Homo-oligomer: A and B are copies of this chain.
Amino acid sequence: MEKRQAEWIWYNGDYEIRQLNACLTSRYEREVFVPPFWHIDDFCKNVKFVKTFRLKKKERIRVLANGKFNIIVDRTDAPLNSYVRNYKGYLDLEEGEYKLTVSVYNETEIPALFVDGETVRSGPDFLVTSNDFRYVPAGCDGLTDPNCPPGKFRFSYQEVDFDVLFRNDKELFLDCKKEMMGLICLENCAGSGPVDIWYGESREEALDKENCELTDRLILPQKSRPDVSKAFRYVLLRAENADLSAVEILREFHPQARSSRFSCSDPRLEKIYSIALDTLALNTREFFLDGIKRDRWLWAGDAYQAFLMNYYSFFDLKTARRTMIALAGKPPVLHFMNQIMEYSFYWIIGLYDYYMYTGDLFFLRRMLPTAKRIIEFSHTRKTADGLLEGKEGDWVFVDWANLDNRGEVSAENIIYLKALDTVAKLCGLLGEDASAYAQEYEEMRRKVFDVFWDESRGVFYYSRVNGKLNRDVKRHPHIFALYFGLLDEAKKQAVIRNVLMNDKVEKIVTPFMRFFELSALCLAGETDPVYREVLSYWGGMLDEGATSFWELYDKDCTGVEKYAMYDRKYGKSLCHAWGASPLYLIGRYLVGLRPTQPGYRTYELRPCLTRLAEYSVTLPLNEGDVCLTYEQGRFTVFAEKTDGVLRLDPALYDTEAADADEDGDRIFRIKAGQTRVVRAGIKQEGNPQ
């Protein structure tokens, strides 16, 4: 067995927290610096690494540290506890059993250690303490180059081919042809003095010097590129005393090793899928960001959706874990994540998804204490009646919509129920006592229905403020109750009929809430309206010339007003992670892929794309991909390393003979490494128009 490479290690979680702080402090509104308005945790400057090992023969071990450090290396049978003196960069040790202790201190970057020998190599089997007398497994992120200790996140860069839209003696206007995150580089530009830069996600924005969201000022020759990359498609530059014709633009990105693929007989859907992939890729950097222009921050609710999209596109687990760890931060809990109450709950709920897609119990064990702390903290938000209500400093967000979120909000309490249920499940998986969570879940669930559900009307009311019911009927609580599986069959039908399919109930306008709404509809079997909605809503953005999907889209809003939000002319983000949800909707519900055992040990495909004559999709599993092709009335399925099943709804497909499950679906077993072809003609009548 090949020994794994040595890698840089650090105090568990500190790399992620350090990157988070860099990320959260990269936000500018023109020249104004905008730091986060919540508490940020920090890395430990003073840590100690410990490793016990046995050498069967003499070994030279290289020990590098990022920071000021000292080394104690003791034979375990004769500890001297004295520092290595006149250290030359390595230790020559004879055969025997040793305990290596390295204390590292660093004020500006995370203290880190790199140990490399024939048999002793730094990795997660080293222990580390912040000197609080608790040892935890060291953190790592795959940084194996001894010359590159952890510091700034390492992005990739690529020169961009742009069009010059106009040029005069002072100004230059460029189009990079699609949305991107990048750096303007003037190293090769002759001249001196200030160069002003106005960025735009739209042409209008870049040309509106007074109102565009992002600007920069470089000073030639000493400052020839910005400190922080920016999001843009268009760039306007102006210099009084410089020749800008040698400007270069570098795209800054985080490359992905894997990616889903989708092609089909409808070029519009194919394009939607491809733009959704671009949108998520642009927002997948050191973390899953909300949007690259603004806020370029990590928000737990946005990340929850990005995780799900990611399982159906890049399956980038390192970025997912980095995001979850950074959001977890350090104890104590001072406020909800991003100060938004339900964002902490989404974070918890996402842990179980992570488990289903990866089977990684080691990571769950690490995250569970944070989940429990959030529940404990939430208890400080309970009213006398036991329901949650926002207190000072809490933001009960739910959605960008016309919502009054004072008091006990039904949607909020429903999301909390799912979080409670998740913690109970995680405790069960990890052999910890789940009973307190299970009991609280039962009690709160009863209370939520008692207080908010009107059986006669078959709806949830929106909230209760100081004991007084707010009888507004909004889509939100219904979407969450359906999506999180809290409704019995009768209530489910009532909710679909009375609210989700009822045009009189105010429409959802954000892709964020649309993610939940369309997912809930799919779970209720209503996939065809979802298919149509993907084409019209996301297709609508394509018609507006989008090269990435937006924070919010309203087809009735046209002209330059469509870029406005938050009372700012170009406040709207035109590349927002939550805009990429077709990746999830198509992969999870329309192609119908899901893990049927934790860690994708087995999978299921239950396609319902009956409006497409042909399509071919490659989606990531935990190990390898699965490819599904439909053409000429036949499915072809192949996954190299994982067994699975193709389930076909006989209402949709005319199939060859097969076993049926309890729902009547036809089951076709697919062996790992073997291609299976299944005949399945589309029944037009099974596909409601």
Contacts and interface: CB of A to CB of B under 8 A. Distances in A.
A108 B108 contact: yes
A39 B334 contact: no
A40 B131 contact: yes
A1 interface: no
B32 A105 contact: no
B70 A133 contact: no
Contact of A132 (B29, B68, B83, B335): B335
Contacts of A44: 39-40, 42
A333 to B, nearest CB: 10
Contacts of A34: 70, 83
Contacts of A31: 85-86
Contact of A40 (B33, B35, B46): B46
A335 B42 contact: no
Given A32-B85, A130-B39, A131-B39, A332 B332 contact: yes
B38 A70 contact: no
Interface string A478-507: 000000000000000000000000000000
A45 interface: yes
A68 B33 contact: yes
Given A29-B83, A133-B335, A334-B132, A35 B393 contact: no
A13 to B, nearest CB: 15
Contacts of A133: 334-335, 339, 392-393
A137 interface: no
B339 A69 contact: no
Nearest to A86: B31
Contacts of A132: 38-39, 334-335, 393
A300 B306 CA distance: 49
Nearest to A71: B32
In this complex, the member of A29, A45, A46 whose beta carbon has the largest number of chain B beta carbons within 10 angstroms is A46
* Copies of this protein in the complex: 2
A191 interface: no
A559 interface: no
Nearest to A85: B32
Given A39-B130, A130-B39, A131-B39, A83 B32 contact: yes
A323 interface: no
B105 A108 contact: no
Interface string A54-85: 00000000000000111000000000000111
B25 A68 contact: yes
A131 B38 contact: yes
Contacts of A32: 70, 83-85
A645 B105 CA distance: 54
A33 B69 contact: yes
A294 to B, nearest CB: 14
Contact of A37 (B39, B42, B131, B334): B131
A371 B30 CA distance: 46
A36 interface: yes
A36 B131 contact: yes
Contacts of A335: 132-133
Contacts of A29: 83
Nearest to A25: B105
A46 B31 CA distance: 18
A169 interface: no
A21 interface: yes
A405 interface: no
A94 interface: no
Interface in A500-553: none
A416 B69 CA distance: 36
Contacts of A69: 33
A467 interface: no
A35 B108 contact: no
A572 interface: no
A267 interface: no
Interface string A124-167: 00000011110000000000000000000000000000000000
B46 A36 contact: yes
26 contacts: A31-B86, A32-B83, A32-B84, A32-B85, A33-B68, A33-B105, A34-B70, A35-B46, A35-B105, A37-B131, A38-B131, A38-B132, A39-B44, A39-B46, A39-B130, A39-B131, A39-B132, A40-B44, A40-B45, A40-B131, A42-B42, A132-B335, A132-B393, A133-B334, A133-B335, A133-B392
Given A39-B44, A332-B332, 5 more contacts: A32-B70, A35-B105, A39-B131, A39-B132, A107-B108
